[in-house]
Structure 1
Amino acid sequence: MKITLTQFVTLDGVYQAPGGPEEDTTGAFPHGGWSFAFDDEDFGTFMTEVFDRADAFLLGRRTYEIFASFWPTATGPDPIASRLNTLPKYVATTTLTGADWKGTRIIGADDLVKDITALKEQPGRELQIHGSGALASSLMAHDLIDSVNLLTFPVVLGTGKRLFADGARPTAFRHTASRVTSKGVTISTYDLNGRPTYGSFATEQ
């Protein structure tokens, strides 16, 4: 399976607490729920397309707890709920010792990179990460994420956790697809493409 990341970010790169005020208040973050105003049919269509490609999910502890508190009780024919509730889920954590959500397995307490490398070697289409910014940053440092769906929302917050923080590994990506929703969310897909290349526009003396 290839590992894909679907991440919501602001124009200034913040991924913290897009869905609600209580999702992640670390650092007294006051802006939780910043993505809510941009929900529309285009956004829903894209997310359904993404979940239709999933064969398993890989989540950080915080995102797992948010998902597990909502999706198991979702009712009606929801394509996202059906995938999350029936497909395997792997939680990368050193603090949880068990998980009640059906189909969930705890990994990474001893060697996260080894465990996730082994998951990539299993047959399937996509092992999907949603949110889970700290986990995503750790995996990008080891080139373990193959493709990124970056949903950039037209809002600047000024504070909050950033996906590509100082010290991120220099990485090149290849742009493979893009669209814009009716409310101005830019959705771009990038595939891992090795290291950056460098040159100079300076005029030769």
Structure 2
Amino acid sequence: MATITVFESVTLDGVMQAPARADEDTRGGFPYGGWAAPYQDEVAMRFAGEGMSREGAMLFGRRTYEDVLGAWATAPEPNPFTEVLVNTPKYVVSRRRDTRLAYPNSTLLAGDASDTVAELRRTFDGAITVLGSGELVRALFGAGLVDELVLQQHPLVLGTGTTLFGSSRVELELQRTVPTTTGVVIAQYAVR
């Protein structure tokens, strides 16, 4: 059986919308895209690289899959992430069965996220990492399918934007913290 780890960048008020680029996700008129970029440092990159070096698979919602792979597949070389993102097995959750997946090593999980990911979790042997994919993550927490949560908590309050957690109660046990040089605290939690 697989273990599912959610890896997210959030502000102190829980916003996870559009951390990387201004045009990443402007839904709802969100004006603060790219808010996490000024906080990147060697500590955060090393931590992310540590996670990316683990064998396993990645799980995305369709929108995040298209955005993340689109951005990194066209990023200038060399960078530490493109090869891993392209070569790692990827599972993409979409409600639409006709969704086309543009990148290699990608498998569509069409239908309800709770059902399709529960089946993947039962049949996949290894680690599965979810990047971004807020709507998917909220559904997975609601269905009790997340084993671990890694938050990059940024010292920033935006007051608006899509937040990570919905209405599901989630109890966490702190496993590890890593402070960065820019005030970001990376917190690794087991989900109880």
TM-score (norm. length: structure 2): 0.92
Deviation at 1:81, TM superposition (A): 1.9
1:27 aligns with: 28
Distance in 2 between residues matched to 1:57 and 1:84, nearest whole Å: 8
Superposition pairs of residues 11-90 of structure 1, within 5 angstroms:
11-74=12-75, 76=77, 78-90=79-91
Distance in 1 between residues matched to 2:138 and 2:92, nearest whole Å: 15
Query: For residues 140-197 of structure 1, what are the alpha-carbon distances to aligned partners after superposition, in whole Å with 9 as ceiling and x for unaligned?
Result: 00110100001100011010001123xx21121111111110001000011111xxxx
Unmatched segments (≥5 aa) in structure 2? none
Give aligned pairs, total.
190
Structure 1 residue 108 corresponds to structure 2 residue 110? yes
2:182 aligns with: 183
Distance in 1 between residues matched to 2:52 and 2:16, nearest whole Å: 20
Deviation at 1:42, TM superposition (A): 0.6
Distance in 2 between residues matched to 1:34 and 1:156, nearest whole Å: 10
Q: Is the 8 A contact 2:91 2:107 kept in 1?
A: yes
Distance in 1 between residues matched to 2:81 and 2:143, nearest whole Å: 29
Query: For residues 100-147 of structure 1, what are the alpha-carbon distances to aligned partners after superposition, in whole Å with 9 as ceiling and x for unaligned?
Result: 1111111132x3222212211235431110011111001000110100
Unmatched segments (≥5 aa) in structure 1? 194-205
- Percent same amino acid among aligned pairs? 35
RMSD: 1.6
Q: Tell me, what secondary structure is at the counterpart of 2:46?
A: helix
Structure 1 residue 97 corresponds to structure 2 residue 96? no
Is the radius of gyration larger for structure 1 or structure 2? 1
Which residue identity is paired with 2:175? Answer: T
Distance in 1 between residues matched to 2:154 and 2:173, nearest whole Å: 21
Q: Tell me, what secondary structure is at the counterpart of 2:123?
A: coil
2:10 aligns with: 9
Q: Tell me, what secondary structure is at the counterpart of 1:121?
A: helix
Deviation at 1:76, TM superposition (A): 4.2
2:161 aligns with: 160
Which residue identity is paired with 2:144? Answer: D
